[in-house]
Structure 1
Amino acid sequence: METSLVLFSQLNMCESREKPFFKLIHGSAKEETSKEAKIRAKEKRNRLSLLVQKLEFHEETHPSRSGQLAQETRISPEEAMMWGESFEKLLSNKDGLRTFTRFLKTEFSEENIEFWVACEDFKKSKDPQQILLKAKAIYEKFIQSDAPQEVNLDFHTKEVITKGIIQPTLHCFDAAQSRVYQLMEQDSYTRFLKSDLYLDLVEGRPQRPTNLRRRSRSFTCNEFQDVKSNVSIWF
């Protein structure tokens, strides 16, 4: 009887020592599995991110839309040379405006031309409600501090617009538009005339691939609900 008690005690001791040991092994296995799952998930996210970047790069550097290519091939050297006569002639030409915008994208400053185009369209507005809605949208997109496409304006010009935006008129952006126009004419336009993009057109050479950043959301009338306007100049 005593022997059986001793054996039972020994078995019980072995069992109590083995349980924590198995728990430790089992817990470690779970922890390793969890780490491996996190690593695999991270690797999948990285691969997906690289794939998206490659797709965006391909989209931006290799335009495949037949319409865009057709428009570019229609630009004759004679037409391109006219753009060099004055900044006004460049902007008054639809292809010139589009080509200059493409150039500004390479300099990360397309907000300037988009603001200028938005102001040109705004001045054609006739309905008071349309004027109010479009003025507010232009202000929030290009003028106010931390605007998504804020243009470079001095404090005084911004202050005048901020005060006048409460009851906007067709001329409330005239000073800002003139300022941005001068900046583009004196700075960006000069570099544009020396760029490969322009010189290739003048000399009739095939267009070279240009690394462009992802196109920002264009300023279009889709941003104004229930607003109608002439958008033939917009692109």
Structure 2
Amino acid sequence: METSLVFFPQLNMCESKEKTFFKLVHGSGKEETSKEAKIRAKEKRNRLSLLLQKPEFREETHTGRSGQLAKETRVSPEEAMKWGESFDKLLSHRDGLEAFTRFLKTEFSEENIEFWIACEDFKKSKEPQQILLKAKEIYEKFIQNDAPQEVNLDFHTKEVITKSVTQPSLHSFDAAQSRVYQLMEQDSYTRFLKSDIYLDLIEGRPQRPTNLRRRSRSFTCNEFQDVKSDVAIWL
């Protein structure tokens, strides 16, 4: 029996060896390139380290930080001292309101001051459509159950607002705003006056980074049932 041999001229048996040899050479080049890149990166790190050790570089960095801190502490100690006279004086000053808001954020209770500010803005509304839209926004953000920034109100106050929000007036949130004001004044404000944020201001020290801490609300609106709902202060 004869065996037939079939030749495929397009098949080059040497080609695989050449490719293998090329890959080996090429791979070696890549490896060498990688080593050179690592050496250059190490040299850059060394140069940067030497640069950071230079006195003039450290002085420039320190000056930049000091300038930033000076900008943050633009409130004079004399002005900050006035905020301790009353809660109303604190909120009536723009920087005082900002400092108090920063303090509330450390206690995760900034929804109270944000609700108060929203109510102040709401009472400036003039057009009926604007009153309706803003009232709905405040209700959905701060009042309704499971609102994203729900404030701590008693059931009766929430129920009154819920019934009036479809046809709101400029005084729809007066009772709620008054209660939140009393909560902040008798609870958060007293702690603010003892906080590092306030003490740094009255002593003229640069503001230090504040640590956020979760705390439970120590007061509820039911504890203030005996407090008069005098909304005349908002008119």
Counterpart in 1 of 2:125? 125
Distance 1:126 1:133 in 2: 12
The alignment's TM-score, normalised by the length of structure 2, stands at 0.61
Counterpart in 2 of 1:232? none
Q: 1:68 to 1:126 in 2, by over 3 A?
A: farther
Counterpart in 1 of 2:11? none
Distance 2:123 2:67 in 1: 29
Opposite residue 112 of structure 1, the aligned amino acid is N
Per-residue deviation, 1:211: 2.5
Q: 1:145 to 1:71 in 2, by over 3 A?
A: farther
RMSD: 2.2
Counterpart in 2 of 1:109? 109
The alignment's TM-score, normalised by the length of structure 1, stands at 0.61
Per-residue deviation, 1:150: 0.1
Counterpart in 2 of 1:80? 80
Conserved 8 A contact 2:73-2:201: no
| Within-5 A mapping of 1:117-156 | 117-156=117-156
Opposite residue 154 of structure 2, the aligned amino acid is D
Once the two structures are superposed, residues 166-191 of structure 1 have per-residue CA deviations (whole angstroms, 9 ceiling, x without a partner) of 10000000000000000000000000
Per-residue deviation, 1:66: 11
Per-residue deviation, 1:73: 1.9
| Within-5 A mapping of 1:197-208 | 197-208=197-208
Opposite residue 211 of structure 1, the aligned amino acid is N
Counterpart in 2 of 1:56? none
| Within-5 A mapping of 1:1-235 | 72-212=72-212
Conserved 8 A contact 2:72-2:206: no
Distance 2:169 2:69 in 1: 39
Distance 1:68 1:163 in 2: 49
Distance 2:68 2:129 in 1: 35
Per-residue deviation, 1:202: 0.5
Per-residue deviation, 1:212: 3.9
Distance 1:128 1:72 in 2: 40
SS in 1 for 2:166: coil
Distance 2:66 2:194 in 1: 27
Q: 1:191 to 1:205 in 2, by over 3 A?
A: same
Per-residue deviation, 1:72: 2.7
Distance 1:203 1:190 in 2: 18
Q: 1:142 to 1:67 in 2, by over 3 A?
A: farther
Counterpart in 2 of 1:58? none
Larger Rg: 2
Identity of aligned residues (%): 87
SS in 2 for 1:194: coil
Opposite residue 74 of structure 2, the aligned amino acid is R
Could you list the runs of 5+ residues in structure 1 that have no partner in the other structure?
A: 1-63, 214-235
Q: Which 4+ runs in 1 deviate beyond 4 A?
A: 64-71
Distance 2:114 2:99 in 1: 13
Q: 1:169 to 1:212 in 2, by over 3 A?
A: same
Distance 1:68 1:150 in 2: 35
Could you list the runs of 5+ residues in structure 2 that have no partner in the other structure?
A: 1-63, 214-235
